[in-house]
Chain A
Amino acid sequence: MAGGAIQFEQVSFSRSSLPVLSRFSLDVNAGEVLALVGRSGAGKTTVLKLVNRLLLPESGAVRVEDRDTRDWSPIQLRRRVGYVLQEVGLFPHLTVAGNIAVVPRLEQWNADRCGSRVHELLDLVGLDSDSFKSRFPDQLSGGQRQRVGVARALAVDPPVLLMDEPFGALDPLTRADLHVAFRRIQRHLGTTVMIVTHDMGEAFALADRIGVIDRGELIALDAPRVIAASRDERVRRLLDAVPAVPRS
């Protein structure tokens, strides 16, 4: 199953003539969860935006499902790629159901199909459909909002899901809950997921593979176990930032 595979090939990108990415290469396998970890300003968000063509590379190529993003229609591409932001970006004037059904409606789904999809997705992200679907975003807690954000991003069953610090603003307990829920959903759907985070701990909790990004360069890419044993000083610094939790 090639659905959802992403390749970065020698991608360079700069912002106001400062290089953000230079000759960045990365293969994301279909169905895996890949976490990109790095400090703020390392270029993580830029990587995500290159996938759904919010940005185009200056040189090199980004391929989604073996097709250069330049050749994708941006609208079509974005509807195949779910996107979850840290700020969630729920539409404040729409209910939970309305938020989740935005893309299905744009795709001309009928009301019945939208309704049952909303029900299914709320179920999936662990919210009781009947009590949540007609609430407005300002009637939700931070964790609930984030769950709705994930449900919205998954609405038309996209093969690829991009997540930008999705759980960054949550308290640790809520976060742990969401991590568990997320792994369950991802395994269930087999979606290819790229997560960017500055938190190595979160990467360990979620990812099949971890890429470490530093000043626009991919300095390590491997299974969490291998990354944890890395001797690279830049990787170690990120590892050391993870609070020491006694793990028995």
Chain B
Amino acid sequence: MLSLPRFWSSHRGELATLLAQHVMLVGLSTIAAVAVAVPLGIFAARRPRLAAPLTGIANVVQTIPSLAMFGFLLPVPLVGGVGARAALVVLFLYGLLPIVRTTIAGLRSIDPSIVEAGVAMGMTDRELLRIVQLPLALPSIIAGIRVAAVVGVGSATIAAAIGAGGLGEYIYRGLSMVDSTVILAGAIPAALLALAVDGLLLWLEASMSRRHRRSAIPAAVAMAAVALGVAGSVAVGARTSASVVVGSKNFTEQLVLGELVAQTIERWGGVSVDRRLNLGGTLICDRALTTGDIDVYVEYTGTALTAVFHQPADTDPAAVYDAVRDRYARTGRTLLAPLGFNNTFAILVRGVDARRLNLQTIDDAAQVAARWRAGFGYEFLERPDGFPGLAKAYGLRFAEAPRVMDLTLTYRALATGQVDVIAGDATAGLIKGLDLFQLADNRRYFPPYDAAIVARSNMLLRYPAVREALERLSGRISAADMRAMNYAADVEHRDIAAIVREFLR
């Protein structure tokens, strides 16, 4: 395992960019939340009948898990989709509640005789608010902002799932590589950032509730402005003026393929590339491709047929490819010729078990499965070509209902004995790395999953050289190539960009 300091120093440019993106996400969304929540809180504090429903709504928003919120927003025009904009919207919504609540509480806790004195002195509503109520409620409001910002730092790590960048990218990357160093490389700076934000706002809150407040506010505002400015210039400076946006799903092979597509376009396509890798599952990528948030990614024919187009599974590779290509064409997208390998689902067991019990096929395993526990990714449990059909085809029964976990965690769970059988990818490098054994699909249950590049047709028309470049990849990547690249990334922890560069050479 790489040591953490070494990882940071070799990735310091990227680390700075991700940290800057993180600060931008939290900073901008918190500022927007303050701009909306404080007036809303003032409004509600003066109309007690409104305060309860308003905080109620904000409460409900808060209880939606952030990952689900990103999901809800995917199909929403303007605010949804993938990328930083959608992440900002989600973080903004989360920030509202604590600030609304503390604004109301701060205003309500002011001694009535002080307010009465203000009114009796002939202050207008506005003057009362500006001179008396807001200054007195300020420590409470700052406390709410503190909560919002600290929660925001945490939630922003999840934004990496929709390609918004930030320190969560290391966490997701680490999860998909099953490499805790990479996870920590993102998690530790995120935690430190949360502590720093907390400390800064705590100091502000304290100096605000003491006297001599005048100096504290401008100092804090200046500090926030400088932080945002620096973060902004780093984050923006790092982004190229992209012409083609390359996406990928959130597991190692997809990161490799996304990088492969990106480097191919950069080398032979003659345009610059914006990488939106590590986007999440099939549905997120498909949605992003439909809306134009990304221009190209690599899909698998069987997945497209069943999960994207909701067709019954089919076992003939050519028929599946044609059906999928036609359906993409009808929706403005082009499926290029397959890359050359079939990433079918692999039913995996530990190598020691396979040898001890002499298991070769899924049929063999079905005999002993009643004593086993299974662990599957969310997608495999839900997909029409996933677990339910498999169980029926082979008469599989396990000791208990399959455990649901992140796909990338299942390999480690199998290797450490937490589960006894998983459904992984046939090309996964970890199969070799963790001494796992792939059972043969002797009843030919799984449809073909030929990897192929799918792109927005209008992008290919605009950049014929990109199409030409991408077609060079057709039929060039064998299952062995793919497994080797995945192994290099997952087990040897080599830099994906370097692995791909080597392959393209």
Contact = CB atoms under 8 A, between A and B. Distances in A.
Interface stretch (A12-20, A72-80, A206-214): A72-80
B113 interface: yes
Please classify the interface of chain B as helix (H, G, I), strand (E, B), loop, or mixed, using the class held by over half of its residues: helix
B119 A54 contact: yes
Interface string A208-244: 0000000000000000000000000000000000000
Interface stretch (A30-38, A82-90, A122-130, A171-179): A82-90
A102 B132 CA distance: 10
A192 to B, nearest CB: 16
B127 A52 contact: no
Contact of A91 (B114, B119, B120): B114
A103 B121 contact: yes
Contacts of B117: 83, 85, 88-91
Contacts of A91: 114, 117-118, 131-132, 136
B121 A102 contact: yes
A93 interface: yes
A136 interface: yes
Given A92-B136, A93-B136, A93-B213, A106 B113 contact: no
Contacts of B122: 74-79, 103, 106
A136 B211 contact: yes
Contact of A102 (B113, B131, B135, B136): B131
A89 B113 contact: yes
B205 to A, nearest CB: 14
B120 A92 contact: no
B135 A93 contact: yes
Interface residues on B, range: 10 to 19
B124 interface: yes
A91 B124 CA distance: 16
Nearest to A139: B211
Interface string B103-128: 00000000101101111111110010
Contacts, number: 58
A159 to B, nearest CB: 14
Interface string B380-394: 000000000000000
Contacts of A54: 116, 119-120
B452 to A, nearest CB: 66
Contacts of A88: 113, 117
Interface in B438-485: none
Nearest to B121: A103
A67 B268 CA distance: 88
Interface in A91-117: 91-93, 102-103, 106
A246 B136 CA distance: 48
B127 A106 contact: yes
A106 B124 CA distance: 10
A79 B117 CA distance: 12
Interface residues of A, number: 22
A78 B124 contact: no
B111 to A, nearest CB: 8
Given A79-B122, A102-B121, A106-B122, A89 B131 contact: no
Contacts of B113: 85, 87-89
Interface in B178-223: 211, 213
A89 B119 CA distance: 11
A90 B113 CA distance: 9
Most chain A CB within a 10 A radius of its CB, from B118, B119, B121, B122 = B122
Contacts of A89: 111, 113-114, 116-118
Contacts of B114: 89-92
A106 B135 contact: no
A77 B120 CA distance: 9
A87 B113 CA distance: 7
Interface in B408-426: none
A102 B121 CA distance: 9
Nearest to B210: A136
Nearest to A138: B211
Contacts of B124: 75
A124 B124 CA distance: 28
Contacts of A152: 121
Contacts of A83: 117, 120-121
Interface in B118-151: 118-124, 127, 131-132, 135-136
B138 to A, nearest CB: 8
A156 to B, nearest CB: 9
A243 B123 CA distance: 40
Contacts of A136: 211
A63 to B, nearest CB: 18
Contacts of B111: 87, 89
Contacts of B135: 93
A79 B121 contact: yes
A54 to B, nearest CB: 6
Given A85-B113, A87-B113, A92-B114, A78 B120 contact: yes
A88 B120 CA distance: 12
Contacts of A77: 122
Nearest to A49: B120
Contact of A85 (B116, B132, B211): B116
Nearest to A107: B122
A142 B125 CA distance: 29
Contacts of A102: 121, 123, 131
A89 B131 CA distance: 14
A78 B449 CA distance: 80
Name which of A75, A83, A93, A103 has the most chain B CB atoms within 10 A of its CB. Answer: A93
A220 B135 CA distance: 45
A92 B124 CA distance: 19
A29 to B, nearest CB: 23
Given A90-B117, A102-B121, A136-B211, 17 more contacts: A54-B119, A74-B122, A75-B122, A75-B124, A77-B122, A78-B120, A78-B121, A78-B122, A89-B114, A89-B116, A91-B131, A91-B136, A92-B114, A92-B136, A93-B136, A93-B211, A106-B127
19 contacts: A52-B120, A74-B122, A77-B122, A79-B122, A85-B117, A89-B118, A91-B114, A91-B117, A91-B131, A92-B114, A92-B136, A93-B135, A93-B136, A93-B211, A93-B213, A102-B121, A102-B123, A106-B122, A152-B121
Q: Give me the 5 closest cross-chain CB pairs, A-B, nearest first.
A: A89-B117, A78-B122, A79-B122, A87-B113, A83-B120
